[in-house]
Amino acid sequence: MSEASRIRVLDPRLANQIAAGEVVERPASVVKEIVENAIDAGGRRIEIELESGGTRLIRVRDDGSGIGEEDLPLALSRHATSKIASLDDLEDVASLGFRGEALASISAVSRLELISNAADDPTGGWRVVAEGREMAPRVTPAPHPRGTSVLVRDLFFNTPARRKFLRTEKTEFGHVEEAFRRLALSRFDIAWLLRHNQKVVHQLPAAADDQRGHERRIAALLGKRFIDESLHLDIEASGLRLWGWVGLPTHSRAQADQQYFFVNGRVVRDRLVAHAIRQAYRDVLFHGRHPVFVLYLELDPRVVDVNVHPTKHEVALPRRASGPRLSVLEPASGTGRGATQLSGRGRHRCASA
């Protein structure tokens, strides 16, 4: 029997590189995963710094809980998470991550370094890097204030096939900025900074938890016109709350770019909702124009299945959870290619575009 046909266990780096195919597409996906960790760690201030569209460097710094020295080596290993321990936890997971794959995947396709301190002593802190085929973690002392910094250099340097798919610096930064908008729209209470090639692109103080505070944040991210020409709404029914802003017909756009829909703080691309909104504007928008909206749907986390997609851009809602008041969201039958499927199991997938 030839060597090639023998069954072998893949070395961890290769296994992680394969897994990375699911979650790490480009710098923007790295930013999303690392920032979600910073949010999960309770960060109140999150700073993101990029060089060359994120292909050369991505640095994310938070002031969250930090990771203790004993846990640091685990942070970079696959299937290691502090967020769930049992299937029960998975049922009502409130954190953004839980698969324990992101850092392992990213560190297999880049030069990743994590520096963290879980104590208040600013001279404390540890740096960890994963080395070699086995991705053995190496931990050394490194001062850091309480919180975590993750540095990702030279994304895809060791996976040329993936690197080929990266676009220009400008395009990659555009994707990062879009990921940033979604994150900053999902958490008004966090202060954000986005820097590219040493220039500050967005600096957003923590917003007051009221309509004015939220509107200031949205204006900073989507332009003042968005707020001036939209309606605020806030509706509660059958255990659901839907709130946010929908644009007046006078503020439509040529692309469907300013359309944000969050389910319990996660951004999702939902064709059912998009369809319902299109229907609502049917008689007031010209053909080819797209409405703008930032909408938040809040419901019991136990009825949302967030474990249907590795990047969690998709979630599954039980069909009945929509209740009578939101039945307007049901699509007309035969909505054609790409329309959301209402499956026989009564689940409805909100898919990313």
Ligand X SMILES: Nc1ncnc2c1ncn2[C@@H]1O[C@H](COP(=O)(O)OP(=O)(O)O)[C@@H](O)[C@H]1O
Which residues would be at the binding site for Mg ion (CB under 5 A)?
A: 37, 97, 102
Shortest distance (Å) from residue 53 CB to ligand X: 22
Q: What is the SS3 assignment for 330?
A: coil
β-strand partners of 15: none
Shortest distance (Å) from residue 233 CB to Mg ion: 32
Shortest distance (Å) from residue 35 CB to ligand X: 9
Shortest distance (Å) from residue 94 CB to Mg ion: 13
Spell out the alpha helix ranges (H) of 25-86.
27-40, 72-75
Of 138 and 320, nearer to ligand X (C-beta) is 138
User: Half-sphere exposure (CA, 13 Å, Cβ side) for 57?
Assistant: 14
Sorted by sequence, the CB contacts under 8 Å of residue 95 that are 6+ apart come out as: 40, 83
Shortest distance (Å) from residue 81 CB to ligand X: 3
Mutual angle of helices 211-222 and 169-186, in 10-degree steps = 170
Q: What is the SS3 assignment for 322?
A: helix
Closest by CA to 268, choosing from 258, 260, 276, is: 260
Of 100 and 145, nearer to ligand X (C-beta) is 100
Among ligand X, Mg ion, none, the one that 148 touches (CB under a kind-dependent 5 to 8 A) is ligand X
Of 64 and 247, nearer to ligand X (C-beta) is 64
Of 94 and 208, nearer to ligand X (C-beta) is 94
Nearest-CB residue for ligand X? 97
What is the secondary structure of 115-184 as a DSSP string? Answer: EEE-SS-TT--EEEEEETTTTEEEEEE----SEEEEEEESTTTT-HHHHTT---HHHHHHHHHHHHHHHH
Shortest distance (Å) from residue 35 CB to Mg ion: 9
Residue ranges binding ligand X (CB under 6 A): 33, 37-38, 41, 62, 64-67, 75, 80-83, 97-104, 148
CB 128 within 8 A of CB 144: no
Among ligand X, Mg ion, none, the one that 41 touches (CB under a kind-dependent 5 to 8 A) is ligand X
Among ligand X, Mg ion, none, the one that 16 touches (CB under a kind-dependent 5 to 8 A) is none
Among ligand X, Mg ion, none, the one that 62 touches (CB under a kind-dependent 5 to 8 A) is ligand X
Shortest distance (Å) from residue 83 CB to Mg ion: 8
Nearest-CB residue for Mg ion? 97
Among ligand X, Mg ion, none, the one that 305 touches (CB under a kind-dependent 5 to 8 A) is none
Of 149 and 252, nearer to Mg ion (C-beta) is 149
Both tokens assigned to 41: 């760690």
Of 60 and 294, nearer to ligand X (C-beta) is 60
CB 314 within 8 A of CB 263: no
Of 27 and 291, nearer to ligand X (C-beta) is 27
What is the secondary structure of 288-313 as a DSSP string? Answer: T-B--EEEEEE--GGG-B-TTSTT--
